[in-house]
A and B are shown apart, each in its own frame.
Chain A
């Protein structure tokens, strides 16, 4: 009954390959995110989707393409993997509002450690 689940937890692949990371949330949230944590532990937002619509798109190479088939899923596809893509990728979700109450808490998945060799 994990709230935000990512698969796989670990991904080791060769440079030049294409890979996908999947994320699902069962919290009924309407907004999902991808964050990247580099080798120095620095966390930075990559994308955000609300109800399947892209609403945040930071400066990320075109090789990264998020896909949201429905509001409970946000997958990350990476083409032509490079050594610099090695990082931990976190999925997160949030609910915009409940009635008149603004919601601001993000729920994070446990991360996917991507290693590009």
Chain B
């Protein structure tokens, strides 16, 4: 079974600063995908960034980037130039592909607050 651990229940950062959210996972699978999702107070689940395990290059999406360490099973999210709209719960998620199904296992989340 896969497990995803987010050890920081809450974090805060000043607007325009950089923050890093931690995530570790445990799996015996060799082919998988990792995601960061954002859930603002509106409750909507928003995909922030995705990483394929077979790719060594770290994924980036504008102000969001990841540090993927496959051997260490670590997948942290860095948010640069933090904005007030980044305030949300952030979930790290592990996906394994089971035929046509994509099974996501989520971490417990990190509540990020961006301070003005």
Contacts and interface: CB of A to CB of B under 8 A. Distances in A.
A87 to B, nearest CB: 12
Nearest to A48: B101
A50 B102 CA distance: 10
Contact of A56 (B45, B95, B101): B101
Interface string A18-46: 00000000000011010100001111110
Contact of B43 (A44, A50, A106, A110): A110
Interface of A is mostly: strand
Interface residues of A, number: 28
Nearest to A53: B100
A104 B104 CA distance: 10
A88 interface: yes
A41 B43 contact: no
B98 A104 contact: no
A94 B45 CA distance: 14
A30 B103 CA distance: 14
A23 to B, nearest CB: 14
Contacts of A44: 106
Interface of B is mostly: strand
Contact of A105 (B44, B47, B98): B47
A48 to B, nearest CB: 5
Contact of B45 (A31, A45, A55, A90): A90
Contact of B100 (A30, A88, A90, A92): A30
Contacts of A42: 106, 108-109
Interface in B48-68: 50
A80 interface: no
Contact of A55 (B50, B101, B104, B106): B101
A64 B24 CA distance: 32
Interface of B: 33, 39, 42-45, 47, 50, 89, 91, 95, 97-106, 108-109
